[in-house]
Amino acid sequence: MKRVSTKILFVFGLLAFSACKEEIALPDNVASFAIAQQGLDAEEATIRIALSRATDVAIPITVQLTPSLVTYDKEFVTEPSAVNNVVTATVPVGKSEVLIKVKKKANVFLNGDESLAMKITSVGSPVLMGLTTETTLSFAAITSTGSKLTMEGKTAESNYANNVYIDLSANAATLSARKSWNLGFYHGGQYRVILNPGYQSSATATAKTDITAVTLADTATVPDLNFAPGGEGTLALADYWDGDLSKTVFAEVSATDAQNKVYLVSFEGSKTKDKWFKVKVNRNGEGYKVQFARIGETSIKTVDIAKDADFNFSFLSLETGLTVSAEPRKMNWDIQWGYSTSNAGTNPPTPYWFQDFILLNYAAGAEAAEVLVSTVTYEAYAEANIASSTFLKTRDAIGSKWRVTSGAAVGVRKDRFYVIKDPSGNVYKLKFVSMGLAGDGGERGKPVIEYALVKKK
């Protein structure tokens, strides 16, 4: 009996120990404004309040508005609406942020001295208020002297659910779902179509120019779009990662409809042949006419897309049949963090699906240079160093070079930083602080950057 009692006590002890292990306390979940200063040079601005992590209960957050030289509902409004200059927003269950939009009223003319101070005054339990509880929105474009910013790409779905667009001069971050679009349509002088590089996209041309004549049987005459990343012979099936518009799968759209081939398009979740899309793009005046359908469908959808000089591209979701707003205006962003097509090798180059890729706004004229700290440190880099920096104008000028994810030295590479010339001509130095690897104190999917103005245009 004594031995049995001992065994029982031992079992209960193990259960108690296990229970203790399961009750490890998580760090406080806190709410903060994403940035402390922001400018508004368009019709609206998005103010982000971020939690440390996703919440399992809805979290109400109260924000006090203090306008200067503007009046609520006269010169501006907010979404959600304010009552007596107080906005109550709610972080939904499973989310880690809430957005407050500030919108200028129509036909309002401002001098540029107007501003809106915002202060978090209360947060629902169990979330606490973080360090950045106040932010100021200027009703004009600003040229930031620098800041520290977290790129909130992570959601409950994955570490790279969002693309994050950064406007250094405005201290602004814009998020868009990486799977929200399939094809982009260039608004510059050429008529070019791009694949979504963050959606494991691939495509190929058929021999046909009549979309109604393309059927599932045509998949037997083209390469398999469900290729393994890094596989040989796959370069022609994906857009080139440097952003060169002459290296896209889709040929430039001809002014002659009969010369435009029907393309087959695949992406994450649509790799089996019966889920591929067939797409034909023609010119439509100064814009595009897009015809598309699932490959086995006979009902063809048509969407007209006009060019807009304020943007690099327009974007279309083949899955919903709708155009979507996936990028800010071309002058309102400098770099984008996200998931992307990259290069798995050099001989030959081969496409590879890649996490934590930094894309440059090359299409609007942004440039970037990599600087090794052995040459000059981040702190010492000044305007006099700009002339000796080698700037690149490619989409992958930064790409994956800023971090390592395998081997002995994983994490942010501390031996280098970057210098970015934005589309307006301002020059910033930028370093990556953390990314959630090698105990750097960060979180994967939420890399932290620090930047400072080197030269104002």
Kindly give the pairing relationship between strand 76-79 and strand 97-104.
Answer: antiparallel
Query: What does pTM read for this prediction?
Result: 0.84
Domains of the chain, CATH where assigned: 30-142 (2.60.40.2030), 183-325 (no CATH), 331-455 (no CATH)
Decide: helix, strand or coil at residue 378. Answer: coil
Decide: helix, strand or coil at residue 105. Answer: coil
C-alpha span between 169 and 93 (Å, rounded) = 33
C-alpha span between 231 and 234 (Å, rounded) = 6
Report CA 224 to chain centroid distance, whole Å: 29
| Residue-level pLDDT, tens digit, the chain, 457 residues | 444 444 444 444 444 444 444 555 678 999 999 888 998 877 889 999 999 888 999 999 999 999 999 999 999 999 999 999 999 999 999 999 999 999 999 888 788 889 999 999 999 999 999 999 999 999 988 899 999 999 999 988 889 999 999 999 999 899 999 999 999 999 999 999 999 999 999 999 999 999 999 999 999 999 999 987 766 778 999 999 999 999 999 999 999 999 999 999 999 999 999 999 999 999 999 999 999 999 999 999 999 999 999 999 999 999 999 999 999 999 999 999 999 998 887 778 888 888 999 999 999 999 999 999 999 999 999 999 999 999 999 999 999 999 998 887 899 999 999 999 999 999 999 999 999 998 898 999 999 999 999 999 9
Asked whether the beta carbons of 370 and 418 are under 8 A apart, the reply is yes
C-alpha span between 129 and 13 (Å, rounded) = 39
H-only helix segments in 129-252 = none
Whole-number pLDDT of residue 24: 59
State which amino acid sits at residue 59. I
CA dihedral sign of residues 116, 117, 122, 125? positive
Element (H, E) at 338: strand 335-346
Strand order in the sheet with 128-129: 76-79, 97-104, 44-51, 30-33, 128-129
